[in-house]
Chain A
Amino acid sequence: MQKSKVEPVDPLREHVYDGIQEYDNRLPNWWLWTFYGAIIFTVAYWFYYHQAGMDQPNEVILARAKAEVTARAASLSKGPLTDDQLWSLSLDPATVAAGRLTFVSTCASCHGDNLEGKIGPNLTDQRWIHGGNPAQIVQTVTTGVAAKGMPAWGPLLGAKRVNEVVAFVLSYHKKGEPMVIDPTATATGKP
């Protein structure tokens, strides 16, 4: 299988290390230019961000990005819904079904699969800790109650899904039913 020498022109170095020889080929040009390119990019990058002052604090970048998202969202939103609108949503099967999906994945772990209450309170009875009007429920879901371990879901779910989930909760209730506001009610429901 002895093959003839492939590149007899390659310069071989004199010294042999334990039988290992070394050519002294030139560095490939594309390799050199990759290296030079990265170095030039480094100089330019540093100049742009740390000399020309284009490096902005995280807060500024984030605030700008947030403003863009908010502006786009505002152009799509139609403002908060009224109690009546929410009650009528609670009669719309498609909205309630969508709300149920969100409830099961987001709320059921604390409020129970059947809203009977576990870590969080029962949502089927007429006793409310933070108000039982539809708009009040939307408010509680959106901003949360940090002291009692209810997270603020507004930023995570968005207005549409919050409305759907509230409609789903309202589907367990009737418009005009009696309501007790009881801020001292225990957070843990007793099913």
Chain B
Amino acid sequence: MTTTLTPAKVRIEFNDAVVRAFMLAAIVWGAVGMLAGVLVASQLAFHAMNFDTSWFTFGRLRPLHTNAAIFAFVGNMMFAGIYHSSQRLLKQRLPSDFLAWVHFWGWQLIIVAAAITLPMGLTRSKEYAELIWPINALVVVIWVIFAVNFFWTIARRNEPTLYVALWFYIATIITVAMLYIVNHLQIPTSWTHSYPIFGGAQDALVQWWYGHNAVAFFLTTPILGIMYYYMPKAAERPVYSYRLSIVHFWSLVFIYIWAGPHHLLNTALPSWLQSLGMVFSLMLWAPSWGGMLNGLLTLRGAWDKLRTDPVLKFFAAGVTFYGMSTFEGPLMAIKSVNALSHYTDWTIGHVHAGTLGWNGFMAAGMFYWLAPRLWKTQLYSVRMADIHFWTGMVGILLYIASMWVSGISQGLMLNAVSPDGVLVYPNFVEVVTSAHAMMVTRMIGGALYLAGWVLMIYNLTRTIWGTQAVNGVIEVAAPEHETPSLSFAATFFNAPVLYSAALVVFSCIWMFGGSVGFLIALPGLILTVITALVHFETSGSTWGQWYERLLASWVPFAVLTFIAVALGGAIQIIPTLTLERTTAIDGIHQKLYTPLELYGRDLYIREGCYLCHSQMIRPFVSESMRYGDPSKLGESMYDYPFQWGSKRTGPDLARVGVKYDDLWHYRHMLNPRSTSPGSIMPNYPWLFTQNSDYSVLPNRIHVQQMLGVPFPKQTPEEIVAAARKQAEEISTSLQGKGVQAIPDREIIALIAYLKQLGQFEKVAPTKK
């Protein structure tokens, strides 16, 4: 290797065709997802909008809306942004066009499959993880294809080091894979049905570890990466601070993972997990704002462009909404605030500040920036983009303001206890009807936002109509010499990594080591912090040099990222899995479901009841008066999947079984307003005409036995016969009350399940 000639320049044409495809898909699916959102909002405002039609009811369309918005809209937008910016930041074309197109069409196939199966009621009932197992498998395959193409581009890059946008993309790809796979571990009972391998509290913890971090690593980190590329591009200004990007990237990816249990505050979840969920949410505030600062401060010297450039307008507002919702999030994760806000519309407003404000506006900014460049033309109308911006902005503000009002009202009304010791609003439905005006306002806000989106579709269509698609081209010289990758030792044995590891180890010793652990951990923590600070003072520059070398070594970078994101989940989930499942946790055992009750439970899941009804009574005076004693862990130990819920559009159902009789449920499901005047719950007439198919039961019970539920040994015939017999009994009881109820109808199984809710046996608690 003695040649020192200037290397020949190579001409590289980027694969921008797949970028255009993803961008157009995102625009179309965005409209679909938002339309579904406006539709479900209208169902909450006017229950007649459910049209007494099974596949059109709220419980089936709401997952369609969330999945469309997250995976179809933001997913396609993210892929467009990642493929477009990565090729340029790495000075390399995607290695495989074939894989890129398999990724594109595979993802669209997943979306179409979701759009068909969810309205059919085929669901796993875990929020943002509802899709049935064959689609889950397809998602994993397509995600791996995406990862291969992405990391392959990195491996063949013509740019020695990795820009900050790529750090966020790497974290996204690795973490989403980890979260998705663990939360979708399941055993099929048929081609369309499965049970998750976790149950009860364990399922709840895994689900919200996933659910919270789907927000983090699907809706946040990729968009931060996109911000780091398109914001300085559009502003034509340097990024504010490289070192801020280092600190906020690593703190964000490490801390985010721990915060999942804040979705389960004040529940039966062990309190150490709740505490972790709360304090890590608070610690997340600054790292999140680090991203906002680096975005907004990049605009220094370019603020005047905000008046004229719609792209920057959308970016600046999007980043501001990001800052607002990442302040609101930690606030709502404070246990006492959460006591008010949880289960209410406040949460709904919070997530929409994120999705409409941050994701939607960042997407719009990116599309307005990309379209003229990918088709080499001018934006058709800047004025129209301005109108889109202000329509969308008013829409978001109406949305979140109405949800603040209704959410905080719900929290206050439901928790209100009068001086003479009773509930001020004993009827749940009073709270529902009082929110009607806010439901209508929210619907209007959402519709305005959608109207802005439609304007953008028109604007971009006119922009690219009749123009020629062009692909980006660069000329690069092959790198003069390969930067050597960091060795194993150099990756791990260096000051920043070792100090971080010491802090994590001492923290774990404190958490799990009792008083002895505390005595070891506290001096350890203090010593580590002081040593690290002193060391940084004297030789911080070598830390910086190490990091520069890390940026030239993508495998060590990806490995460290994986460790950072894996730690939080492992430390929370693994100890929880060892909770004694078959012995009593807190002196209470859930009563085993009968075959008919299990069948009814699967109907409850099919209809999406968990989207509006929780099964988790919190330890508050108001809740114990309204719903009964606080829920305990043992009460849901056989629930695969758990049904604790996350929202109370209707009342909690954890103990509803002892409250009403079968006739009440029969009438209520046929027309909720006959028993609860003012209710906004849909009618479920199809449950009264469709027959139960008990033949699926033996397989379902068999799978639950494999999962450790101690169902008695029964032959398939005995199982079906038991279901039939119980259905006969309920039907006879109903007939005695003057209703012609046919035993095989689905409503009978659902009543069996509802009547059973809140049944448990007391057992001797196991000594630990």
Chain A interfacial positions (CB closer than 8 Å to B): 1, 3, 5-7, 10, 12-13, 15, 17-28, 31-32, 34-35, 38-39, 41-43, 45-46, 49-51, 55, 58-59, 61-62, 65-66, 69-70, 72-73, 76-77, 105-106, 108-110, 119, 146, 148-149, 151, 153, 155-161, 186-188
Contacts and interface: CB of A to CB of B under 8 A. Distances in A.
Contact of B283 (A23, A39, A151): A39
Contacts of A59: 619, 630
A43 B242 CA distance: 29
B147 to A, nearest CB: 22
B419 interface: yes
Given A28-B293, A119-B675, A149 B272 contact: no
Interface of B: 85, 88-89, 91, 159, 161, 163-164, 229, 232-233, 238-245, 247, 251, 268, 271-272, 275, 278-280, 282-283, 285-287, 289-290, 293, 297, 300-301, 304, 417-423, 426-427, 429-430, 510-511, 515, 518, 525, 619-621, 624-626, 630, 658-664, 667, 674-677, 737-738
Contacts of B664: 110, 119, 149
B621 A66 contact: yes
Which 5 pairs from chain A and chain B are nearest by CB? A158-B422, A149-B661, A73-B421, A35-B286, A58-B619
Contact of B238 (A20, A38, A70): A20
Contact of A77 (B163, B420, B510, B663): B420
B503 to A, nearest CB: 10
B382 to A, nearest CB: 15
Given A21-B239, A38-B286, A42-B280, 7 more contacts: A15-B161, A18-B163, A31-B244, A31-B286, A58-B268, A65-B620, A149-B662
Contacts of B245: 22
B240 A25 contact: yes
Contacts of A31: 244, 286, 289-290, 293
Interface centre among B239, B251, B420 (most CB of A within 10 A): B420
Nearest to B298: A23
B675 A45 contact: no
Given A19-B233, A149-B663, A27 B630 contact: no
A168 to B, nearest CB: 16
Interface centre among A7, A22, A42, A46 (most CB of B within 10 A): A22
B286 A155 contact: no
A4 to B, nearest CB: 9
A108 B621 CA distance: 27
A156 B423 contact: yes
Contact of B282 (A6, A41, A70): A41
A72 B240 CA distance: 58
15 contacts: A1-B304, A6-B301, A18-B229, A23-B240, A23-B242, A34-B286, A42-B282, A46-B510, A50-B511, A66-B624, A76-B421, A110-B675, A156-B426, A158-B420, A158-B422
B667 A119 contact: yes
A55 B271 contact: yes
A141 B88 CA distance: 73
Contact of A3 (B301, B661, B676): B301
A66 to B, nearest CB: 6
A17 B157 CA distance: 13
Nearest to A5: B301
A111 to B, nearest CB: 11
Contact of B275 (A12, A50, A146, A157): A50
Given A31-B289, A149-B664, A76 B420 contact: yes
Contacts of B423: 155-158
A188 B737 contact: yes
Interface centre among B229, B232, B238 (most CB of A within 10 A): B238
B85 to A, nearest CB: 8
B275 A45 contact: yes
A20 B240 contact: no
B421 A27 contact: no
Contacts of B232: 20-21
A69 B674 CA distance: 34
Contacts of B422: 73, 155-161
B421 A69 contact: yes
Interface centre among B229, B268, B282 (most CB of A within 10 A): B282
B738 to A, nearest CB: 5
A98 B290 CA distance: 57
B407 to A, nearest CB: 23
Contacts of B426: 106, 153, 156-157, 161
A160 B420 CA distance: 9
Nearest to B424: A158
A146 B660 CA distance: 8
A164 to B, nearest CB: 12
A39 to B, nearest CB: 6
